[in-house]
Copies of this chain bind each other. A is one copy, B any other.
Amino acid sequence: MVTGIGDDCAVLRVPPGHEMLVTTDFTIENVHFRREWHRPELVGRRCLTRGLSDIAAMGGEPLAAFLSLAVATDVPQSWVDRFIKGLLDLAAEFKVPLAGGDTAQSAGGIQADIVVVGSVPKGKAVLRSGTKAGELIYVTGELGGSAAALARLQESKPVGAEYFRHFRPLARVAVGQWLRQRGVASAMIDLSDGLSTDLEHICQESHVGAEIEAEAVPRAGVGLRKKPVALDLALHGGDDYELLFTSAKAVPAEVAGVRVTPIGRTTRSAGIRLIGADGKARPLKARGWEHFKGNL
């Protein structure tokens, strides 16, 4: 599928009747991760997850990844080796070759840019623009777990293995493909910036509004007692890499081994409203995931 690795360009063969998908995502030290908080293997893993998750959100199949990595001279080689190992381990899990990239000396810190190329049958990519009013809105998995881990790190509290979505992010590639193959998802996006922000992208592109039932939003259980995270973390926290999609069809409660939960519906009237347990609606503002900007 991929030749020319190490040449001026990688050469990719696209399956007949397919289109190519291309996505690119930065991972920047002190913006997306901190060396004192995140093991290098995790940083590498999340770097690739960001790209794979975008392919998942189109219902695509990842074909190859490209890594551009800039590292300052004071970053130990062992850090870089472990970063690459985390990335390659995940690439192997998804059978995605690392087909090229670039390396450079950084003027300070670490900057990585991941490119993932994928394929999808012609005309079948699930866009953000495909829903209309009156469809149900679904999410995969549970939300807010990654933001909860980050909140604890910022307070210097211990975070254990129960925060696995933060420390072991996983792109929902199989779920995305299942939803695309069966024509179930009319519009889809991955939750990298947080539900409120990413839902707004679908609403804008599809020219609809949305109502979300606060009680229906599946919140990640954290800590030893699996206590659900605060609603705000589930509504606005990023880096969960779950899928948010709309559908007018029957959707099973589990797809490819992952829980799928209806959380609301698209509406003719613009804007996003959150319906509380008391049935009252209030506007849900997009509070974009700005990573830990401002906290440094």
Contact = CB atoms under 8 A, between A and B. Distances in A.
A107 B31 contact: yes
Contacts of A60: 9
B105 A107 contact: no
Copies of the chain in the assembly: 2
A154 interface: no
Given A108-B107, A109-B108, A8 B70 contact: no
Interface of A: 4, 6-14, 19-26, 28-32, 54-55, 57-58, 60, 64, 66, 68, 70, 99-109, 111, 113, 115, 117-118, 120, 122, 125, 127-129, 188-190, 205, 293
A225 B108 CA distance: 41
Given A22-B99, A70-B26, A102-B24, A6 B205 contact: yes
A102 to B, nearest CB: 5
Secondary structure call for the A interface = strand
A8 B107 contact: no
A2 to B, nearest CB: 9
A55 to B, nearest CB: 6
A6 B103 CA distance: 27
Contacts of A102: 24-26, 113
A285 to B, nearest CB: 21
9 smallest CB-CB distances across A and B, nearest first, come from A113-B113, A9-B21, A8-B57, A8-B54, A12-B20, A26-B104, A9-B23, A30-B107, A68-B113
A115 to B, nearest CB: 5
Nearest to A32: B104
A115 B64 CA distance: 14
- Determine which residue in A29, A30, A66, A113 has the highest number of CB atoms from chain B within 10 A of its CB, and name it: A113
Contacts of A190: 8
Nearest to A21: B9
Nearest to A29: B107
B117 A22 contact: yes
A25 B58 contact: no
